[in-house]
Structure 1
């Protein structure tokens, strides 16, 4: 049994994780511990507050008791707003507090893109323009080329959590631009787990979505590979050997 510990801020789309656990169809357990997100707002200051070290540390003890093999901070916005170096400090502090390998969804996106061998990515974000731009900057710091950013301008995570398949597909299609090798949907407040096959079929390219990437990153930390076609290309491709 491999147990993944996820720290998830507030309550918006955490029901994607039991769905992913079921789709993995293996001896994988996905444990979700909710952290206090403070203010539900897609603003830089509020997102920085969500990812504050003391808020993450508060959820660590429960994950240790659950026997987690790795921990992932399941908030893209609550990590990339710190910038590349700040997000690295954040996960190092989390690893020290948990005594476990640690990462975040933001780093998961970069690692997943590298795994698929893609360099040029398009972003479909629910965030306002300024926050979405910070995610693009984070991806560039990780060595990716961002071909375009589409923002929906949602002010809160609660709004994003209300979207269904049609709205998610519309966002992904709007974000896709010529030359993009993959489309990234970064918000962990967005339900995406049930839509990955449809999204990839509609766009004819890999789609990396926050919950899928979060679980994959946890598996990577735990040195586990699982073939799960319903979770998209990321869970079916053989790893790319980096030079």
Structure 2
């Protein structure tokens, strides 16, 4: 068990969709914020890691289970915990709960430390992760196996200034937004995500163009950003 950090959060208008649900992309953004708050609280802020190691934290995978999406103006509790790590990867969980303790969203995530100069993954140093009190393991966890796309629908985007984050690459929530938009307004209005898998294979930098491919099979949509920059699969429920 690692250190658990918890905070209360009110779902604002700008993180809500037209159904009054907290958008999945907003859930990812707030998770990043909460993990940063814990790191700062433990003396391992993004600034500390950069100054001492020239590293920045990068998410490589998400597995998201949605029991119920938080609602507009709902007060929720968000917990995060750095579960375990090995010499290359760190594994962190997030739990979104109602005030009454009902589990709404459960997220498993995988992180690496990226060297700011080489843009390659660095080794996980004990000094960086020690305050989280997470378990050291030797095993590298296997991620989700994604299906290949056939006869996919494709939509293209141009990267905007607002898509770029502090690490000078595309914010990871943008991939999800690019992925679901080709599904169309009617489909998204009448469906909610239940399970989401995301894998980030390559960072996307300013000036690049985005190609978002989607294949919808039964209740699962399969997505590819560019040739292989990101893979996403979403299980949907009709509402």
More strand by share: 2
TM-score by length of 1: 0.27
More helix by share: 1
Q: Greater Rg, structure 1 or structure 2?
A: 2
